[in-house]
Structure formats: structure tokens, C-alpha cells
Amino acid sequence: MHRENRSKHLRQASLHTALALACLALIFQPGASARAAPQRDSREEQAPSRHDVVIYGGTSAGVVAAVQAADMGKSVVLVNHYRHLGGLTSSGLGQTDSGREAVIGGLSRGFYQRVRDYYRNEEAWVHETRGDYLGLGRHLRPGDDAQWGFEPHVAERLFHEMLDEAGIRYEPNEYLVRDNGRGVRTDGNRITSIMTESGNLYSGRMFIDATYEGDLMAEAGVSYTVGREGNEVYGETLNGIQTAASHNHVFTHEGRRQPPQPLPSEARVDPYVVPGDPSSGLLPGVNPDAGGEDGQGDHRVQSYCFRLCLTDVPGNQVPFDPPPGYDEADFELLFRMFEAGEERIPWLPGRMPNRKTDTNNRWAVSMNLVGGADEYPRAGYERRREIEKEHEYWQRGIMHSLAHHPRVPEHVREEVGRWGYAADEFTDNDHWPYAIYVRVGRRMVSDYVMTEHDCRRTRMASDPVGMGSYNMDSHNVQRYVTPEGYVQNEGNIEVSPGGAYAISYRSIVPKRGEAENLLVPVAVSSSHIAFGSIRMEPVFMILGQSAATAAVFAIEDEVSVQDVEYPRLRRRLLDDGQVLEAPETAGGIDTGSLDGIVIDNTEARISGAWTASTHTGPFVGRNYFHDGNAGKGARSVTYRATLPAPGRYEVRLSYSARNNRAGNVPVAVHHAEGTATLRVNQRRPAPIRDVFHSLGTFTFGREATVVIGTEGTDGYVIADSVQLLPVAGDESL
């Protein structure tokens, strides 16, 4: 009888979920909404507020853009569609995903320096001492000029200080009218003003869309996309559907900063309401299949969550009560995950000051509502609020279940039970973060689209306005049923770019011929997988400062943003402390110092996925490529050179030797008499200047071609440069 009742209960799970979530927007209201409902044309249209620069979006990028424009002598208004300032930086994302901190400069670094200055005051330490926190991970280290971990309320306080010091007008809780362009007034390709749902008009000479969603950009008619492109669109390898990247036949266990760790091979999680019975229907959130072939594009976006601020200080805790409408059937996947053999706690509680956390997603079922955000980027305000409530219900239910449900292992319940929501954070929002983590919204499509090739530095933008360096990081986008009949997560990608890379100015301005006085430093022009690296708060601040600088120059020179003089922009950015070139790129051998003809890797034609790196020297030029010790046979690098005259040339190959390199790299030299295929042992240091290995002397016509392959190789393959030296005494030369 018990089994029959439980089966009946599970059959109703999907219905319960739909009813519970639909009602949440009405019955589950915090004490004060962090994102008040927009007032739709609640009063008559007002006279326009006129400023040089109008910024829409009170994110960290919006704050920094406002400060920069004001510092350059322009009048600024910052219009925010939230009541609270700072976006995710002040909504729980206190564990800064900084990547390579050396390339964070300007006002972005200045913010994190303010954080460190704030915490130098002993009065800031209420629940622990500064000494207790010092050295815990990378967020506060002796000798650093910046601090990368902080409490949410501190971030918001510092952002307000920045606006107040710059004398910036701040307009919170103002929602752009989104109605087929009615919210944006234009004169030709120029925006003249924007209108909010309260009836306010904001007129300006330049506009900056600093929202995560790209709302102003879209309302202005700028080209954009949502979802994952297919790999074929930009010649990428990490875009689109990624079932093969799951590494196992059950759940992909999404772990931060480490490879996926599957459950034991015998563990399987059944996707059906009644285990083993497909006719009972699928559990909530599980798709019948992956929706296409690997590498194929789709409409899906990586999962969202709220970054929870928790504490283990008993006197500062709010308990993990169940959300209204809590139905344990909605969390069946969580329970089945544990029953399949999972023993780890499915969260990542990064330590913040005063014994608080920035709690993120981890493992198979966790903070992310997988598949729950696909509608969000384009959704209206009311639907977005419903989606936010669905996520809130999920995460409150997860925390309650982890702390109390008998199907959760006892050691997990004991550990989670030590924690609670921080009572001194988000005090006007029931201690819940103000903003959901919109990991990606719309993405502009401009004349330069940042792609995997930029992140891997196999393509280098000539007009950088900032640097990225974080992993190409996509959280899972869906759950589906494998051909074997089990649950599988899909979409989690974590691939290092191998160093810092340039972000093009053209990626933050619309296409030529579209809005000519709008800059977009957050919803930048990029592919799905490239945005997974760019989408970090320090980078958004960097791009916000660069966007504001360009906006001021466009005003002063009376040109469109597409026609801003880049050399002038670059000089000002560098003067303001921005970093536009990775420090390690100065370590390569200058190609101009070498004799003969040198074809660097950045000038070669690549096939397949290669990663640019500067990790091991010596090397020639800015960097070298490596194949990641993967995709053997599907990756190659082709060097071509037009020669000044036919004749005999010595061909040399450069590489940085190491014991993890391949000892049998195939190199094909195409010459006038045929093709010579050689094998190069890249574990051994090259004998010529410790970087070049001679492949021999060959006769060429007017063209030389050298191809580095990967087929059958037994380690990392390095592709750096090829040098051709004319043979002395060859009369033809």
C-alpha cells in the first residue's frame, strides 16, 4: 500500500510543480520586493531628463561606466530597473571569479581596492577577525593591493559611495518600456531618449546598456541572439549541444575548477515518475532526449541560480524553512542522486568575511534550476518575476531538503544543518538575494563576434578595450534521458583559455548602420561559449569603463561610436590604468630579431581546437598553440610562406620542450620535389637557441608549406613558429 501511495504521489509531481510554481508569484512574497513590480504607464509622460550620457542598468558595469563618464566631465544619469545597486556583485556573488588578477585594472581594480580598504577597519569584523579570514583561499592574501571576497551589503555600500563621490544622479526602480521599440525614441540611427514604465523620459547624447539581459539594446532594434550557436557558425568546438563532454552515462557532476567526477559506474538514476515505467511520465525538468546532435545549436541558455549568502554563526542565522507550497516530489532527483551513491554535499560554499558564504552550484542536483531559464532573456517583466520565484522555490526547497529530509544522508543533513541564511544580509528581502544570477541573457551580434578563437588566442583582436582570462565556463543547460534510459545533465563546459585574451572594442558597439550612440559592455557580441568566459563581474566593470570613455570621445568628436578613433581611446584607457595586453606576452622572442622568414603561429591556418599559451618558454612571438592532448588526428596547423626567390632553404620548427609533450609529432614539409614527413620529439629541448629544431634543407619554388599534425601523437603537440633560412652559396638566391 505504501508503494502504491508513493507511486501515485510521484505521478502527480509534474502537476504539483506547475501549480506550486504558478502560485508562488502570488503567495510567496518577501517582506519587501527587491525588484518592485513595474508601474505600467502609471502617470503621464514626463518632460525629458537631459544628460550627456544615459546608462540603463545598475549593475557593476553601470556603476563604473557612470563614474568614468562623470570623471571625464560629462553629465550622467544611471537608471536602474532594480531597487538595489550593483547587480550580482551586491547580490551574493562575493567570491570574485577573477581569472588572472594581473589583467584587472582601472576602476574595476579600484573597486576591489576599496573592498580591501573597508576590511582594514577592525570594526568591519563582527563575527571573526581579519586574521582569521586572512589567507583563506585567494580572496585576501598578505601583500595584495585588492581583496576579492566581500559581503553583499558591503559591495552595495561601496557602489553608492562611488556614485556619491562622483555626484551622479541615480534613478532606481525604473523599468524601460519594452514594446516593439516604443521605449526608445530615435532620430535615424541615433537614440534620442528612453522611456520607463513610470512615464519618465531620459534624453541623452550617448546611451549605455549595462543590463545583463540586453533590454535597451533589443528595444533599440540592435541585432542580437539567444541560446547556443552550432559549432559550424564560427568554426568552434565547444558550442552547441555537448553530450560527449558529459564523460559518463549518468549525471554530469558539475564541479567548479576541477574535471567532472561521475558517480560510480554502476550507479544510475531513473528518470521516470515510477522507476522503470516510462508510461508514468518523466520527472520534472527532464527532457525525453538531448534535442539534437553534438555541436548543433539550440535555444537553451546555461542555468541560473541565486548566490546564497549563508552563515554558520548561530546568532546570525535564519533557518532553512520550506518554501510555501513545498512538495517533496519536486526534489525527487535530489533524493535519487543520493540513493544512487552520491555522498558529497551538492553545494560550493565559498568563504566570505564574517563567516559567511557565497554559495554556488555543485554536483548533479544543486543550486541551479537546470533548464529553468530558457525563457528569461526575452521574457516580459512579469514572466521574469515568475521565473525568479520558480528558482527561489527550488533553492529554498533544496536547502530545506538537504537539512531535514530523511532520504538525504545523515552526514549531509548534519553539515547543512549547521548553516542558515545570514540574518544581516538582504534584510529588506527576507534575507534572500536581490538579483538572480543571469549568467547569460541576450548577446549582441556586431561586426566583431568574440568566439572560442579569441579566448584561445588563436585570433587576436587589434582593438582591445579589456582582457578576459576566466575559463570558458558554461553551466548545464538541460537534463535528458540517455539511450540507456537514465538521467543525464548536458551543457557543462569548463575549459581554460590558457591565459588572458583581448576583448575587441567592436564587440561592445552595434554593427555599423545600427544604433550609432549606444554601447553594450555586458551583453557583448560573443558566441555562447566565449561569453562563458567574458561574463565575469570584473570584466563587466572593465568594459563599462571602456564603454564610457568611448562614449565621451564620441560626444567630443561628434562621431558615432563605430567611428571613435581607437588609438586615442587606447591611450586614455592605458592612462586610466586599464590593462590591454597580458603581462606574459612580453616574454616571447621577437620575430623581428630572427633571420630569414618567420611564420608565427598567429599567422598560420588552424584546423580543430588549439589553445594559445605562454606557460612554458622559450617561445617565439606572443604565444604558442597546444592541442590539449586531445582530438588526435583532427587538429593541425598549416604554415605558408611566399618566398622572395626559388631555391634551397633550411626549415626550422620552434617549440617549448617539456616532458608532457609528444615524442612523435608528425611534421610535413611540402617542397618543390614532393613532401617530406618527419617526426619531432618535442620532449627534448631544441638545440638552436633552445627553441628551434632543424627539419633539414629543401628546395622550394615561390611557396613553402609546413603542416604540424597530431595523429598518433603521445602527448601535447606544440605549434609555435616556422623559420626558413636561405642556404648560403645557393646562387638562385
All domains of the chain in start order, with CATH: 52-227+441-474+494-575 (3.50.50.60), 588-726 (2.60.120.260)
Give residue 202's pLDDT.
97
Give residue 657's pLDDT.
87
Q: Could you say which residues of the chain have pLDDT below 70?
A: 1-47, 135-139, 141-142, 246-267, 583-587, 689-690, 729-733
Please say whether the beta carbons of 505 and 569 come within 8 A.
yes
**C-alpha to C-alpha distance for 377 and 214, rounded to whole angstroms:** 8
Cell numbers 562621431 correspond to 559
Other CB atoms within 10 Å distance of the CB of residue 712:
12
Please say whether the beta carbons of 378 and 30 come within 8 A.
no
From the list 132, 163, 194, 57, the residue with the least C-alpha distance to 523 is 57
Please say whether the beta carbons of 731 and 645 come within 8 A.
no
Residue type, 385: R
DSSP state of 185: E
Give residue 546's pLDDT.
98
From the list 280, 241, 228, the residue with the least C-alpha distance to 489 is 241
Give residue 135's pLDDT.
66
**C-alpha to C-alpha distance for 191 and 183, rounded to whole angstroms:** 11
DSSP 524-560: -SB-HHHHHHH--HHHHHHHHHHHHHHHHHHHHHT--
Using alpha carbons, list the distances in angstroms from residue 239 to 472, 473, 527, 628.
10, 11, 8, 17
pLDDT digits (tens, 9 = 90+) for 354-388: 999 999 998 899 999 999 999 999 999 999 999 99
Please say whether the beta carbons of 721 and 620 come within 8 A.
yes
From the list 616, 598, 567, 612, the residue with the least C-alpha distance to 692 is 598
Please say whether the beta carbons of 391 and 306 come within 8 A.
yes
Please tell me whether residue 324 adopts helix, strand or coil conformation.
coil
DSSP state of 430: T
- Show the DSSP H helices in 297-365 as ranges: 332-339
Please tell me whether residue 228 adopts helix, strand or coil conformation.
strand
| Contacts of residue 503, Cβ cutoff 8 Å, sequence gap at least 6 | 450, 454, 461, 464, 465, 466, 467, 468, 524, 534, 539, 543
Give residue 251's pLDDT.
54
Other CB atoms within 10 Å distance of the CB of residue 691:
25
**Dihedral angle over CA of 607, 611, 614, 618, nearest 10:** -40
Using alpha carbons, list the distances in angstroms from residue 634 to 134, 458, 663, 709, 713.
47, 16, 18, 8, 12
Please say whether the beta carbons of 713 and 662 come within 8 A.
yes
From the list 41, 73, 65, the residue with the least C-alpha distance to 201 is 41
In residues, how long is the chain?
Answer: 733
Give residue 513's pLDDT.
96
pLDDT digits (tens, 9 = 90+) for 306-329: 999 999 999 999 999 999 999 999
| Contacts of residue 513, Cβ cutoff 8 Å, sequence gap at least 6 | 189
Give residue 487's pLDDT.
94
Please say whether the beta carbons of 273 and 337 come within 8 A.
no
Residues 47, 49, 54, 56, CA torsion sign: negative
Q: Within 13 A of 518's CA, how many CA atoms are on the CB side?
A: 36
**C-alpha to C-alpha distance for 704 and 726, rounded to whole angstroms:** 12
- Name the average pLDDT for the chain: 89
CA angle 631, 637, 639 (to 5 degrees): 175
Using alpha carbons, list the distances in angstroms from residue 128 to 112, 139, 242, 369, 473.
20, 15, 44, 33, 33
